[in-house]
């Protein structure tokens, strides 16, 4: 799948811009604050219907405007589809796919698009919420059923927490009103945990060789699921243990008014040669871990027969020569489409020499082909 055209109307610092892309590599170079990341954001928003930098969609129209639109065409296995997105402040986003309006819940995660930004380093350094979001986003992209289970789980969790809060004031210890919620939560939670473990294993298999190459060999990457449900090493016991822990935690949960065990609180750990990356990895190692995970995602999609659109924001400024060379080789050998931004003239020059690539210059919210 690749994007052939993109038109932006009053999106960020673009008033009006029409672009035609190369099916393989597209390089955008320019000084700081010219609109490079904004362009990647537009590509991501068009294909995913979300921004990777903000949940506040009212930030996206150009200053002084209260609306924006993005239009583009995707080419997938010989078929072209037209996408139009219309946004106006305090109205719902309208998504038109091949002339038909579709709800966002159906559109989101429909296209495999993977982004790497310097912010993604927080995936290693920050708390578990960001890592869960990573697993859930990728799980949802790979498997629409995962997204549905996740939504069901969140709904049951909210209802269970409401019951806990309602009972907080009284001194009711009878457990029976919790049972129907527990049953649903345990069933959905079991599915989610098992899916996440499978996803991490698959991701580890794909990411390892890339981490090895990026690190120059001698370092081994591992991913470990860190559940709040104590089921030992045997996922067959997830449901039973989850159920028991919910019951055991009941009195505490009545005090806090929230469910304190389950996949909504789980995490995963990354280790390099057995050592926790969150605590001990150097900056360069953290970058390589995140990049390997992202390339791992791309490889996972490829196994399902789909080529991912890969967005790389300012990545070469973060890597030494050896790592950059590995990345460039990967990009020029892959079948899928890539969008790369750089503020460095050296990388822009290197990019122009690549085969099957188109180079663009970004200046003050205007883009032209070099």
Tell me which of ligand ATP, Mg ion, none is bound by residue 13, counting a contact when its beta carbon lies within the kind-specific cut-off of 5 to 8 angstroms: ligand ATP
Q: Name the token pair of 191.
A: 């599915």
- Write each residue from 288 to 317 as x if it is in contact with ligand ATP (CB under 6 A), else as -, in one continuous string: --------------------------x---
Task: Give the residue with the Cβ less far from ligand ATP, 205 or 344.
Answer: 344
**C-alpha distance from residue 332 to each of 309, 336, 357 (Å):** 14, 9, 9
Residues 306-365 that bind ligand ATP (CB under 6 A): 314, 343, 362
Q: Does 227 bind ligand ATP (CB under 6 A)?
A: no
Contact 340, 35 (CB under 8 A): no
Find all residues with CB under 8 Å of 183, minimum gap 6, and list them. none
DSSP state of 77: T
Tell me: does residue 12 bind ligand ATP (CB under 6 A). Answer: yes
Neighbours of 329 (CB within 10 A): 11
**Is residue 36 a contact point for ligand ATP (CB under 6 A)?**
yes
**Which range of residues in 25-33, 158-166, 287-295, 301-309 is near ligand ATP by CB under 6 A?**
25-33
The alpha carbon dihedral of 166, 172, 176, 182 has a sign of positive
Q: Which residues contact 35 (CB under 8 A, 6 or more apart)?
A: 12, 13, 14, 362, 364, 365, 366, 367
Question: Near ligand ATP by CB under 6 A, which window of 26-34, 120-128, 201-209, 236-244?
Answer: 26-34
Q: Pick from 7, 10, 29, 37 the residue near Mg ion by CB under 5 A.
A: 37
By CB under 6 A, which span of 28-36, 127-135, 255-263, 270-278 interacts with ligand ATP? Answer: 28-36
How far apart, in whole angstroms, are the C-alpha atoms of residue 338 and residue 331?
7
Q: Which residues bind ligand ATP (CB under 6 A)?
A: 12-13, 30, 32-38, 59, 62-63, 314, 343, 362
Q: Which residues bind Mg ion (CB under 5 A)?
A: 36-37
């Amino acid at each position: 799948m690749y994007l052939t055209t993109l038109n932006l109307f009053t999106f960020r610092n673009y008033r009006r811009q029409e672009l035609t892309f190369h099916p393989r590599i597209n390089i955008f170079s320019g000084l700081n604050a010219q609109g490079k990341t904004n362009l990647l954001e537009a590509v991501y928003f068009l294909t995913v219907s979300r921004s990777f930098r903000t949940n506040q969609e009212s930030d996206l129209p150009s200053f002084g405007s209260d609306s924006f639109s993005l239009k583009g065409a995707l080419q997938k296995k010989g078929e072209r589809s037209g996408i139009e997105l219309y946004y106006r402040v305090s109205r719902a986003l309208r998504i038109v796919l091949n002339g038909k309006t579709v709800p966002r819940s159906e559109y989101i995660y429909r296209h495999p698009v993977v982004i790497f930004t310097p912010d993604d380093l927080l995936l290693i350094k920050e708390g578990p919420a960001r890592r869960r979001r990573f697993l859930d986003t990728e799980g949802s992209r790979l498997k629409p059923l995962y997204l549905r289970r996740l939504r069901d789980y969140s709904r049951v969790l909210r209802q269970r927490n409401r019951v806990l809060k309602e009972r907080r004031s009284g001194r009711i210890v009878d457990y029976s009103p919790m049972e129907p919620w527990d049953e649903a939560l345990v069933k959905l939670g079991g599915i989610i945990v098992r899916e996440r473990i499978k996803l991490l294993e698959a991701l580890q298999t794909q990411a390892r060789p890339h981490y090895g190459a990026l690190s120059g060999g001698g370092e081994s990457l591992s991913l470990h699921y860190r559940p709040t449900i104590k089921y030992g090493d045997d996922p067959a016991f997830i449901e039973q243990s989850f159920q028991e822990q919910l019951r055991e935690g009941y009195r505490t949960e009545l005090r806090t008014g929230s469910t304190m065990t389950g996949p909504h609180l789980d995490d995963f750990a990354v280790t390099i040669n057995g050592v926790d990356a969150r605590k001990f990895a150097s900056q360069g190692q953290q970058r390589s871990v995140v990049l390997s995970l992202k390339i791992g995602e791309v490889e996972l999609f490829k196994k399902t027969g789909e080529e991912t659109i890969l967005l790389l924001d300012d990545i070469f400024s973060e890597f030494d020569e050896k790592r950059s060379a590995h990345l460039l080789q990967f990009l020029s050998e892959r079948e899928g489409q890539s969008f790369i931004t750089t503020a460095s003239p050296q990388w822009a020059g290197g990019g122009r020499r690549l085969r099957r690539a188109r180079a663009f210059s970004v200046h003050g919210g205007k883009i032209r082909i070099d």
